[in-house]
Amino acid sequence: MNEYFELLEEETKKALRVATEARAKNLDPVNVVEIPLTKNLAERVEGLVSVIAPAIKGAGIPKRIAELEEKFGLQDWRVALTIAIEVAKEKLCKFSDKREAMEVGIRVGFAYATVGVVVSPLEGFVKLKIPKRKDGKEYFSLFYSGPIRSAGGTAASVSVLIGDYVRKQMGSAKYDPTEEETKRVLTEVTDYHEKVTNLQYFPSEKELEYLIRNLPVQIDGDPSEEVEVSNYKNLERIETNRIRNGVCLVMAECLAQKAKKIQVQLNRWGKEFQMEDWDFLEEFLKIQTEAKAKKTVQAEAKIAQDYTFIHDIVAGRPVLTYPLAGGGFRLRYGRCRNTGLSSQAIHPATMAVLDDFIAIGTQLKVERPGKATTISSCDSIEGPIVKLNNGSVLILDDEKEARKVNQDIEEILYLGDILICYGDFLNRGHRLVPVGYCDEWWQEETKRNPKNVTIEQAIQLTKEGHPLHPKYCFHWRSITHKELLSLIQWIKKGKQEEKQILIPYS
């Protein structure tokens, strides 16, 4: 492995030498290679932002980031906030003016949040503008454009937090949106979604309006579309009448969609960093929860149905079940070596009965805890239950068996388990969802190995006071009261002969 990495470094340096010699011939617009070689995240941050802010080159940013990581931990948002304000206060290097220092500080913090590998800190976050409030005080206006999407919704949201942290520490006031400005952004996001392109997450009017009114900074941007906003034009503090994709993306797919994730972090250290201006997220999340629950029906554990994941489904992505629908995937907590964050697993037999429409590597939109996952396989979770053309019902826990009967399947009754790691719920700030009774639970209660338990053994264990093995706990919640009574009457017709129970077919 060491030899492999040494080879990569050696060949990269060789390519850099050739490129440097070529650039030295002055045949290109720039006579040096602009992309610097870096060895770690901290160096990437410096290298990326120094492209448009040369003053930070050699100012000690990598060393300072390493010190902050020792204090807060790797990839902690507090590292981004702290390095941003230190650059903004010109503790590491000097800039032409205060506004530039603060803008570069936001870029450096944002670059750290995006691990220094995407263009968002340079081209997604366009600039910092400092306009005046109605009372004459200064506030922050953060300009964004389309490339902000390369940061991902979470990191892009962090950039707004960074901008607001720098604002507060540098003494600027909160943004004071007017009624017209609020309605303008609300209309603009709707117009963008309906006339330009579907947003992955389209907030309700109530969500969006509350968010705009309470954000301590203004989200602004340059015009990106030929289409003008349908209403609320010619506003004094908004420079264009055309739709701004940066504004729409940051408001909808970043801040609104990732609000829960932001709140989870701020609950941990927000007071320490004086981020009380974001306390409004608690009420916002209540509004969002109400908006997401299309119906008032809730699951037993008060987990609401969430229709967001199928609201704007795009071609090529399958919809296998409606929210919390019976017969859909059953949650199973855990992970295997081929799954992890945003990578979940289903049984290979499930893949088989779905005619391989879902394969390893297929991306699916999911109801929770996040918005999507990449699928892998795991054969130690429960497989599908199917009904064949001859009326028999099979529990399929073997891929080969599933493929043998695939052509004879009349109906898929249950899709089986989907394996989701705890980290997905923790990372998204999503409450844990109650799970079905499974092998791991039974093993904890009985302190026995759950594998290959026969029905005779399962019954004997119940006589000893243990719960019935989950393999023999059928899907009783899916049956109606009328069907249950009918089943009881049918079983009563049975009789036992030579250790066999015989029940008439009809």
pLDDT digits (tens, 9 = 90+) for 90-134: 999 999 999 999 999 999 999 999 998 889 999 999 999 999 999
Owner of token pair 């309906």: 194
Indicate the average pLDDT of the chain. 90
pLDDT for the residue 315: 65
Statement: residue 505 has pLDDT above 50: yes
Statement: residue 298 has pLDDT above 70: no
390-394 LR contacts (CB < 8 Å, sep 24+): none
For residue 373, which of 407, 339, 401 has the smallest C-alpha distance? 339
Give percent of the chain with pLDDT exceeding 70. 96
Statement: residue 300 has pLDDT above 80: no
Compute the average pLDDT of residues 15-25. Answer: 95
pLDDT for the residue 506: 62
Specify the higher pLDDT residue, 200 or 254.
254
Compute the radius of gyration of the chain from its Cα atoms: 29
Statement: residue 294 has pLDDT above 90: no
Domain boundaries, the chain: 1-35, 36-283, 308-446, 455-502
Task: Tell me how far apart the alpha carbons of residues 203 and 482 are, in angstroms, rounded to a whole number.
Answer: 41
What is the pLDDT confidence band of residue 297, given thresholds at 50, 70 and 90? very low
State the maximum Cα–Cα separation within the chain, in Å, rounded to a whole number: 96
What is the pLDDT confidence band of residue 491, given thresholds at 50, 70 and 90? confident
Handedness of CA 58, 64, 69, 75 (dihedral sign): negative
Statement: residue 244 has pLDDT above 90: yes
For residue 275, which of 72, 65, 74, 78 has the smallest C-alpha distance? 78
pLDDT digits (tens, 9 = 90+) for 168-227: 999 999 999 999 999 999 999 999 999 998 888 899 999 999 999 999 999 999 999 999
pLDDT for the residue 117: 87
128 near 163, Cβ under 8 Å?
Answer: yes
pLDDT for the residue 281: 95
pLDDT for the residue 305: 78
What is the pLDDT confidence band of residue 372, given thresholds at 50, 70 and 90? confident
Per-residue DSSP letter, 313: -
Statement: residue 296 has pLDDT above 60: no
Task: Tell me how far apart the alpha carbons of residues 369 and 103 are, in angstroms, rounded to a whole number.
Answer: 34
